[in-house]
Amino acid sequence: MIAPQTIASVKERTDLVALIGETVRLVRKGRTFQGLCPFHKEKTPSFHVNPERGIYHCFGCKESGSAIDFLMKVEGMTFTEAVRSLAERAGIEVVDTATDAERREAIAARRARDDLYAINNLAATFFEQSMRGPSAHPLALYALHELHRRGLDPGPDAAGSVADALQAFRVGYAPPAWDGLVSFLKRQGVSPAAAEKVGLLVPRSSGTGYYDRFRHRLMFAVTDVQGRVIAFSGRSLAEPTAEELRSLGLSPQAGAEVPAKYVNSPESPIYTKGEHLFGLYQARHAIRQRGEALLVEGNFDVLSLHARGVDNVVAPLGTAFTAAQAKLLKRFTPTVTILFDGDAAGKKATWASRVPCKEGGLDARVGVLPPKADPDDFVRTRGVEALKSVTKSAKEMYEYLIENALENDAFNDASTNGKLSRIHAVAALLGEQQDPVKRLMLKTYADRMSSKLVMGGQSPVDLRQLEQLLEQATSRAPRQPLRAAETQVPHHQARSRARGDDIGLEIFGALIDFPVLFDDPEVMDALEALDGEIALSIATARQSLTMEMEILADEFLAQIPPSIHAFAAGRLASPVFETAEMAREELLKNAGKLKKLSLMRENAATADQLQRVASLGDVALEDALLLESAKRAKAKLRLA
Ligand SMILES: [Zn+2]
């Protein structure tokens, strides 16, 4: 723990105007200073800094705080990190209230981490120097060629922004030898075991010693939000010729496997996958200033856009976009525009990113690139203005997803089942909206998209009619309509089997609304009254819905038999019960009804048998059947 007196003197002795002035251009106005707010987008200054009070405040977005808050918000530091950084600036010794043992432990832990950052930093320097300058490696030509191919020439004639971007992302080259970095680190006095901890070196499987993980690759340094190098990402390059390798004393590997396109550092004490965003450190000021971030798929997209002046770009670093990354981004902006590749994988990744965006509280929009284009190709071939117009015309995420599911050509090309799953996916998307106004707006949107389609020669008026037309067109028995509430229960007893199915569906629906009911022993007992497809669907629901709530609704629906599919989709989209208790009560009531129905059916069967037995004149058998029937009647009374 940092002592309160340290915190007080840090606040007192920090030159707030100088500190904030590094990020914001401040102009003196009387006793205070004013500038454009770094926390929201504005054209006239409403951000005030008062050095006497040691406080800043924005009259536009209401952000305010001390020097410590400023570093935490702008640099993404923790409280302790911010205090330590300010203490260092002001030459204040940090007083720690921890016991000696605690302090020693904390210092040792911090030193161990600092050592790892330092090793990565050295490695980044090694990769940079291996690419350019007097100690560049002869095969670095391959890396330079890859950059050249993408219009990112680092040569002396390079546009300032390209050179700046390459430097900002610490782009470099990992030489092809197995021991390039090994010997460099040795010369720097770094122990190979420490370099192994951050995944730069790998222990040899035979004998002793280590080898370089990254060989003959274009290297990107991955930094945390404070700019510390925490990992690397290496892109494969064209293979050198056997001649080139031999001239360097390296033996060409005959029949070697095609290298992976990207190799990333493994997790380490300073790097956890899915928790960092590539480019966030370089983009953080631009993101804040523009009030928006662009999320792209690849490192090259980030570098390429950054070099061309689109500098509010980040990428999720070789994983799917995670909730942790969304929360990290939210510290800098509430708005993100997703600009993934125009191919099927990009669409799938866009679809999947709606869940983390929601969890991280990000307002997401989706920019659409032409099929087969990625942001890097697009900006190279079409220019920055074209890219900007794509991001400007980005659609609200759910509208984009609905449009994507009901898009004319893709919809018409899909199989019948494919069409149905598209409709059900849209129903599920609507169901994900908690805000009723937004849900209504999206439903209107989905209905409008549906009405643009033609099904069996007719144009549907809305999503629901689209589904009905599709069912008619495939001349299947009509299913349950989309909304459970509109299900009609037949009243006449002659259709008790059908009624039993309806009751079974209601039980299934209650479980979809509240999968937590699977944990209730009384509910589990009651479920034994079910059989057939409903029992199977309930077993599926138990497996998939209770495991993880973020499971994609369409994955669950894919396992549901066709006759129940629409009911399940409708129920996912529009739950009926408000509380688990209400769902439980109704479920148990329905289970009771189901038992009664099955008793009645058995009684009807017994009456048939009695008639036949009576004609045979077997009194003993007649008695046995009557007794059985009486037992059931009693059971029915208990249930009633
Ligand atoms: Zn503001």
CA of 631 to the centre of ligand 1 (A): 77
Integer angstrom CA distances of residue 351 from 64, 365, 374: 36, 12, 17
CA of 271 to the centre of ligand 1 (A): 32
CA of 288 to the centre of ligand 1 (A): 10
CA of 280 to the centre of ligand 1 (A): 20
Strand order in the sheet with 363-366: 313-314, 293-295, 335-338, 363-366, 395-396
CA of 327 to the centre of ligand 1 (A): 20
- Residue 347's pLDDT is what? 87
Q: Is 205 helix (H, G, I), strand (E, B) or coil?
A: coil
Distance from C-alpha of 86 to C-alpha of 92, rounded to nearest angstrom: 8
CA of 38 to the centre of ligand 1 (A): 7
CA of 284 to the centre of ligand 1 (A): 15
CA of 182 to the centre of ligand 1 (A): 49
CA of 340 to the centre of ligand 1 (A): 30
CA of 333 to the centre of ligand 1 (A): 12
**Exposure of 362 in the CB half-sphere (CA atoms within 13 A):** 32
- Residue 256's pLDDT is what? 63
CA of 73 to the centre of ligand 1 (A): 12
CA of 25 to the centre of ligand 1 (A): 14
CA of 218 to the centre of ligand 1 (A): 40
CA of 325 to the centre of ligand 1 (A): 23
- Residue 551's pLDDT is what? 43
Amino acid, res. 464: R
User: Tokens 């899915």 map to which residue?
Assistant: 274
CA of 33 to the centre of ligand 1 (A): 14
CA of 506 to the centre of ligand 1 (A): 51
Residue whose C-alpha is closest to residue 130's, from 80, 71, 182, 174: 174
Q: Strand (E) positions, 61-213?
A: 64-65, 172-174, 201-203, 210-212
CA of 43 to the centre of ligand 1 (A): 11
- Residue 342's pLDDT is what? 87
CA of 283 to the centre of ligand 1 (A): 18
CA of 295 to the centre of ligand 1 (A): 23
CA of 336 to the centre of ligand 1 (A): 18
Residue 338 φ/ψ, nearest 5 degrees: -90, 125
CA of 57 to the centre of ligand 1 (A): 8
CA of 22 to the centre of ligand 1 (A): 17
Q: Is 58 helix (H, G, I), strand (E, B) or coil?
A: strand
- Residue 478's pLDDT is what? 47
Distance from C-alpha of 526 to C-alpha of 498, rounded to nearest angstrom: 19
Spans in the chain with pLDDT lower than 70: 155-159, 253-256, 473-498, 545-556, 570, 573-575, 615-618, 636-640
CA of 35 to the centre of ligand 1 (A): 10
CA of 386 to the centre of ligand 1 (A): 30
CA of 58 to the centre of ligand 1 (A): 5
CA of 51 to the centre of ligand 1 (A): 18
CA of 37 to the centre of ligand 1 (A): 5
- Residue 485's pLDDT is what? 33
Integer angstrom CA distances of residue 528 from 378, 509, 525, 535: 58, 16, 6, 8
pLDDT tens by residue, 147-198: 999 989 876 655 578 888 999 999 999 999 889 999 999 999 999 999 999 9
Distance from C-alpha of 486 to C-alpha of 212, rounded to nearest angstrom: 65
CA of 36 to the centre of ligand 1 (A): 8
- Residue 498's pLDDT is what? 65
Answering whether pTM is above 0.75, one says no
CA of 6 to the centre of ligand 1 (A): 29
Amino acid, res. 290: R
